[in-house]
Structure 1
Amino acid sequence: MADQKAPGPTTYFPMIEKKYGRPVEEWMDVVRAAVAADPAAKHMELVALLKTEHGMGHGHANAVVAHTLAQARTA
């Protein structure tokens, strides 16, 4: 039990793909495009975009945004 990792955003990815019918990479592209259009966009603004324009649930949207922004910071 001690060697188990805490769940992170990527634990949602298989369910996101199943529920919304698109690969996670496509959802990440949506987030990247929104950031490219508005580099000052905040995390919760991006979550709201996925929720309102694409019908994604809050937890799933938050996971996609968190992972996408984390990747951008390490790139």
Structure 2
Amino acid sequence: MADQTPKGPASYFPSIEKKYGRPISEWQALVRSAYPAKHMELVAMLKDEHGMGHGHANAIVAHTLAADRP
């Protein structure tokens, strides 16, 4: 049986949802609304405007950008 534990940035998602009270889909929509900003600009936006910690912000941005990469 394969291990179903999330790996990489997605491993942070349960704690992000619990700590900040919003589903990951909302955070991803927020990141996408700020395109075409660069990775660290998006991380800074989540930190500065939403009080998110660096690791959590980076995980959301990295996962969202990877999902949207052609």
The reply to whether TM is greater than 0.5 is: yes
Give me the whole-angstrom Cα distance separating, in 2, the residues matched to 1:25 and 1:58.
Answer: 18
The aligned counterpart of 2:24 is: 24
What is the percentage of aligned positions where both structures have the same residue?
70
RMSD: 1.8
AA at the equivalent of 2:14: P
The aligned counterpart of 2:66 is: 70
**Unpaired runs of 5+ in structure 2?**
none
Superposed displacement of residue 64, structure 1: 0.1
Give me the whole-angstrom Cα distance separating, in 2, the residues matched to 1:55 and 1:20.
Answer: 9
Equivalent pairs, count = 68
**Unpaired runs of 5+ in structure 1?**
none
The aligned counterpart of 1:46 is: 42
Superposed displacement of residue 51, structure 1: 0.1
Larger of the two Rg values belongs to structure: 1
Structure 1 runs, 4 residues or longer, greater than 6 Å off: none
Give me the whole-angstrom Cα distance separating, in 2, the residues matched to 1:11 and 1:29.
Answer: 19
Give me the whole-angstrom Cα distance separating, in 2, the residues matched to 1:44 and 1:32.
Answer: 14
TM-score by structure 1 length? 0.83
